[in-house]
Structure 1
């Protein structure tokens, strides 16, 4: 057993969607710190460029920004085409980009439901489809590629907020992960999901600012997630250490989900 290389991601080619902030930036930072070449994408070109500049200064890996609106099929095709111009394969796809909407059950907007379900579920399938040739290019059972879908503990438990489309999309994503894993595993492409709890992100900022102490008090480890927590789980799944993990939904929440009803 080669423990030195068990969690090695040096030289891997990685795409992290929503990589310019929050959990996506944490994941991108972890892979770049491990020596990977990481493509990041979000709608904001300025945000992508800023994060890429910071990560490239840190190294030892490389960060390449490619802004794209992943709600658009044409933009997804353009993103994959841009990556294909620079690399002939992709080792890791991290589907992290997502949206949320909090609203009363009585007047929850139909268009908001559509937007959240589309980005958080449908377009993850679309992007994974589009990336399949790159993911398959060097994949084998001995050296698999990896798709990591970022779900949520709100897809496991009933959340306290009125985020109906978000929780439904994440529950759907967890099941889509299992379905994809069964289909693609034989082709050397592992598919897993991570269900994060509370992390310091733009999506969580207002909630943590208002209820941070209460939220921490209900998490058995009494803290919110750190960059190392989420990045380390992704690196595990993308490295030799995770090559026998396929179709899993790994909860990274300090025990919040399992203690919710205690």
Structure 2
């Protein structure tokens, strides 16, 4: 029998976090690093990755990084190659990279639809396939944490911008998570998803400015937005031995929005 501290300890584990240079990805990197994991961050922009690396170092967390575009097949393969070469194997994969685009459905440009889908769904699957096939399945162990959204659980209230491609993509992530959990459970791999509500970030800045924080929090039961700590505990639960019997689950971290 393990102690609670042992169950949540990630010492000796390795983690690859996409979209890890800022926002929710960086918050999760802080949590996994603080729990003892060796980190590899990925995002498109090298300068932001360097800033994230320096930030984590200031917290006593060492992290490596690779600049890669999760919507490009060649970059996905290169990221998998680099992660496996530098880490040796990947115990924890956090699929956080994502994009959004706001436009009414009747006028939604196909180029924007493809951009969102290529990164949020296709790229997520292809990287997961690479890491699963090359590292997790052979070792009969893995923790996959997908970042979905409450936007993938329901439609938008009328007050919010129109984001049909984003919502559709996150709905796909929800069912990809459940389906893959069923397929890969026999390999000792858990696959779960976090579904954040509204957190201040670069991606949500436009919504916050357009709708206003007060209007957004008015329909949140806890009457607040997510903060810089609110994903940490759930991420470590899914990534650690504490969550070894949890798979195929979607955990909303949204202040209660999805419950009402």
TM-score greater than 0.5 by the shorter chain: yes
8 Å CA contact 2:197–2:257 kept in 1: the answer is yes
Cross-structure match for 1:168:
168
Gaps of 5+ in 2: none
Cross-structure match for 1:113:
113
Q: How does 1:123-134 map to 2 (within 5 A)?
A: 123-132=123-132, 133-134=134-135
How many residue pairs get matched? 254
Cross-structure match for 2:69:
69
Superposition deviation, residue 137 in structure 1? 4.5
> Partners in 2 of 1:235 and 1:30 — Cα distance?
7
Cross-structure match for 1:225:
226
Which string of whole-angstrom CA distances, capped at 9 and with x for unpartnered residues, describes residues 36-72 of structure 1? Answer: 111111110000011011102312x321111101111
Q: How does 1:29-40 map to 2 (within 5 A)?
A: 29-40=30-41
> Partners in 1 of 2:84 and 2:91 — Cα distance?
13
Superposition deviation, residue 157 in structure 1? 1.2
Q: How does 1:194-205 map to 2 (within 5 A)?
A: 194-205=194-205
Superposition deviation, residue 135 in structure 1? 2.2
8 Å CA contact 1:39–1:66 kept in 2: the answer is yes
Cross-structure match for 1:8:
9
Gaps of 5+ in 1: none
8 Å CA contact 2:56–2:62 kept in 1: the answer is yes
Q: How does 1:42-191 map to 2 (within 5 A)?
A: 42-59=43-60, 61-132=61-132, 133-139=134-140, 144-160=141-157, 161-191=161-191
Which string of whole-angstrom CA distances, capped at 9 and with x for unpartnered residues, describes residues 112-149 of structure 1? Answer: 1111111111111100011122223533xxxx410111
Which string of whole-angstrom CA distances, capped at 9 and with x for unpartnered residues, describes residues 170-221 of structure 1? Answer: 1111001111001111101111111110111111112223411111121111
> Partners in 2 of 1:194 and 1:182 — Cα distance?
17
> Partners in 1 of 2:68 and 2:5 — Cα distance?
36
8 Å CA contact 1:89–1:136 kept in 2: the answer is no
Superposition deviation, residue 35 in structure 1? 1.9
Cross-structure match for 1:212:
213
8 Å CA contact 2:100–2:166 kept in 1: the answer is yes
> Partners in 2 of 1:136 and 1:43 — Cα distance?
27
Cross-structure match for 1:20:
21
SS in 2 for 1:225: coil
Q: TM-score, normalised by structure 1?
A: 0.93
8 Å CA contact 1:89–1:137 kept in 2: the answer is no
Q: TM-score, normalised by structure 2?
A: 0.94
Q: Provide the aligned C-alpha RMSD in A.
A: 1.3
